Amino acid sequence: MAEDWKGKPDSYWREKLTAEQYRVMREKGTEAPWAGVLVDNHDDGMYRCMACGQELFSSETKFESNSGWPSFYDVAAEGHVELHEDNTLGMKRTEVTCARCGAHLGHVFDDGPADKTGQRYCINSCALDFEGKK
């Protein structure tokens, strides 16, 4: 039987995540632009959910958006992220969460590379764990 990541209590996440990761991933915060360690990462590998390890984005789909956050034009696999309408802060956006644990990752916009998917998954660096290719 699969582990119930979405059913884990708040105390589990407070212990597992740093204060910044908790603020972003559990309270739907946003890290400051250009503050994340993975913004300028150009290594080959897989970006995983920092909370549960789910594969989220491949380095093959990462691109320079100059937004200040890691940006990807596609997900690693169908069903690994969920999209939700987000009308907070007086804006209409689409929130991206981890399908396994429900962690807030960032938002997706329709201004990505037109020759790919046209999508820009704008993801908080602190929500990602990078696993380089061996």
CA nearest to 33, candidates 62, 59, 69, 4: 69
Q: Which of 49, 101, 122, 126 is catalytic?
A: 122
Q: Per DSSP, what are the bridge partners of residue 81?
A: 98
Catalytic annotation present for 98: no
Helices (H) and strands (E) in the chain, counts: 2, 9
How many beta carbons lie within 10 A of that of residue 26, not counting itself?
Answer: 17
Give, in degrees to the nearest 5, the angle at Cα 106 between 12 and 76.
Answer: 90
Residues labelled catalytic: 122
